Chain A
């Protein structure tokens, strides 16, 4: 980030500036890429009706027109776009006919994120997103696409420069975590792998369809496996897809997490930098951090690892890139590292996610989970059996095979889901854990809770359970404690946020938590 930018003359505060002119070049390149991508199928399509040379000529003309139009449009956009960082407002004027003026109060600016795809990086440019972190859609972000790297860095430091707070405790500034390449072992077990595998198979089919050769591909695969049984062929295809998925997941991991480092900057800003081709810099002010979430997807959890997400206000999603995962502070890493990073981030001696002594939930919660899991496993089985008895006995065998696999799996998942449930208070944090396929432990600042929602279905009422949801301005907006014991859960909620729930509670002396119909009846209807 220290590349000198000779043409960047120091500009007085509050002067109107333009985006970098090279944006026209970038757009031209992008358009050329689009044209090249579209050219192949179009040429092949046209070649059916005319000589190849003629088709090529048409496509080339179209491509040139596309590139020129794109570049011209972007030139106009560049001419019409100006921004200014004033003393108390950041402003952006853009638009050709309808001039859009957007202005953010500087004191409300909560994030300045930089990202650069390979094309921008080659040209030394970055895209800057300035956000206030309000939930009002795109109205609260300014996007400068693109400015030079040095200008981006200047904006970041200028907009996030606050009076350095004297931080409590002795927590260090500088690097909190850096990438350990051995963490790549957690990439293949993520849920991305099977998705990418499926996408690979789908991609092969799609491309072959463009060439009208889908039939041939299927036949070719059929020929290869002429002597093997259908079942074995299917297994081999699945293995190939999984292998492709694993390779894809590793590739994606490298692209996302290469050069990862998490650091704390003076003035209380956490900064994540990462990315092999597309370099990103994400800044999270500590004063808008409301806690952390320790996320353990099933595969990652089995390997004893966890990911750390920030629970912060105003972490807007990047609309153009849903996979950007701006909230991730640490990629899947060994549990010890994750706890250490969580503690460092929160400036606590020990991470509340591991220090909290979690209260287990009542047995009724386990019954509910078992019942639900078995029901969802049995329903398709019953359908299969009925159809089998009616139509053909083959379905009955399939049902039996499914039963052998699905029922134990359902029980295991239900028991694990129950074991995951827990809630507690650790210092200034409220800790709640739930989930089995994606187990998440959230540590939420008690001061960050801005309301409670208590839910109770008829079944929960009979079992003496309820679901507590703490609403917050940060992260997902609400974090739930599922199926807590009625009385104990309410006591927990009222302890966690003093004064909020108390006026509405009745400390009854009824017998509690035994799951009988009488307990249900004590809830007034």
Chain B
């Protein structure tokens, strides 16, 4: 017996968003190390080598990881539950029944806005039960949030 993959993928633009994030995460420390390496003569070797290693690793991640992530990140909303799969090395499947959902939020960071993406956050009464669907088209995210709010409002009870 196993879990089947949820049936929807994220928006394709999420790959670009992840790429930019990884690129930024690589560029900042690499630039810092490189600048320091150029300024401080005696320690040049000790600063430029890690900078080069980091740059190579970071670029490799930027090239390969987002595509992989795109294949493994999936989501699905049925009438009964929200079902999300995330993670590549550490896969995670999260299921929250509609009857236990307390709030539905959408969130858009500056970078996400540039890619016209949004994150839907579904919270339950558990302090550890929040489900995030990152990288949806922003209009689709708004529709989804509205749909979820409508369904959950129709269910009585305090969701604990």
| A457-B90, A473-B160, A500-B97 as given contacts; A505 in contact with B128, CB under 8 Å | no
| A471-B128, A503-B80 as given contacts; A453 in contact with B1, CB under 8 Å | no
| A313-B160, A503-B80 as given contacts; A453 in contact with B92, CB under 8 Å | yes
Q: Would B95 and A504 count as touching, CB distance under 8 A?
A: yes
Within 8 A of A (CB), among B80-113: 80-81, 83, 87, 89-97, 100
| A505-B3, A508-B2 as given contacts; A461 in contact with B124, CB under 8 Å | no
Q: Would A504 and B4 count as touching, CB distance under 8 A?
A: yes
**A486 within 8 A of partner (CB):** yes
Q: Would A524 and B97 count as touching, CB distance under 8 A?
A: no
| A505-B1, A506-B4 as given contacts; A450 in contact with B160, CB under 8 Å | yes
Residue from the set B81, B128, B160 with the largest chain A CB neighbour count within 10 Å: B160
**B155 within 8 A of partner (CB):** no
| Complex-state Cα separation, A501 to B93, whole angstroms | 11
**B45 within 8 A of partner (CB):** no
* Residue in contact with A505 in the complex, picked from B2, B126, B131, CB distance below 8 Å: B2
**B56 within 8 A of partner (CB):** no
Specify which chain A residues have a CB less than 8 angstroms from the CB of B87 in the assembled complex. Answer: 455
With CB as the reference atom, state the residue of chain A lying closest to B122. Answer: A451
Specify which chain A residues have a CB less than 8 angstroms from the CB of B76 in the assembled complex. Answer: 504
With CB as the reference atom, state the residue of chain A lying closest to B125. Answer: A473
| A503-B80, A505-B4 as given contacts; A456 in contact with B91, CB under 8 Å | yes
Interface string of A472-490 (1 = CB under 8 A from B): 1110111000000011001
| Complex-state Cα separation, A464 to B145, whole angstroms | 36
Q: Would B81 and A500 count as touching, CB distance under 8 A?
A: yes
| Complex-state Cα separation, A471 to B123, whole angstroms | 11
Chain B: minimal CB distance from A32 (Å): 40
**B129 within 8 A of partner (CB):** yes
Q: Would B92 and A455 count as touching, CB distance under 8 A?
A: yes
Q: Would A506 and B160 count as touching, CB distance under 8 A?
A: no
Specify which chain B residues have a CB less than 8 angstroms from the CB of A490 in the assembled complex. Answer: 1-3
Interface string of A453-468 (1 = CB under 8 A from B): 1111110010000000
Chain B: minimal CB distance from A517 (Å): 16
Chain A: minimal CB distance from B50 (Å): 22
**A135 within 8 A of partner (CB):** yes
**A507 within 8 A of partner (CB):** yes
Chain B: minimal CB distance from A315 (Å): 12
With CB as the reference atom, state the residue of chain B lying closest to A451. Answer: B96
**A37 within 8 A of partner (CB):** no
Specify which chain A residues have a CB less than 8 angstroms from the CB of B6 in the assembled complex. Answer: 504
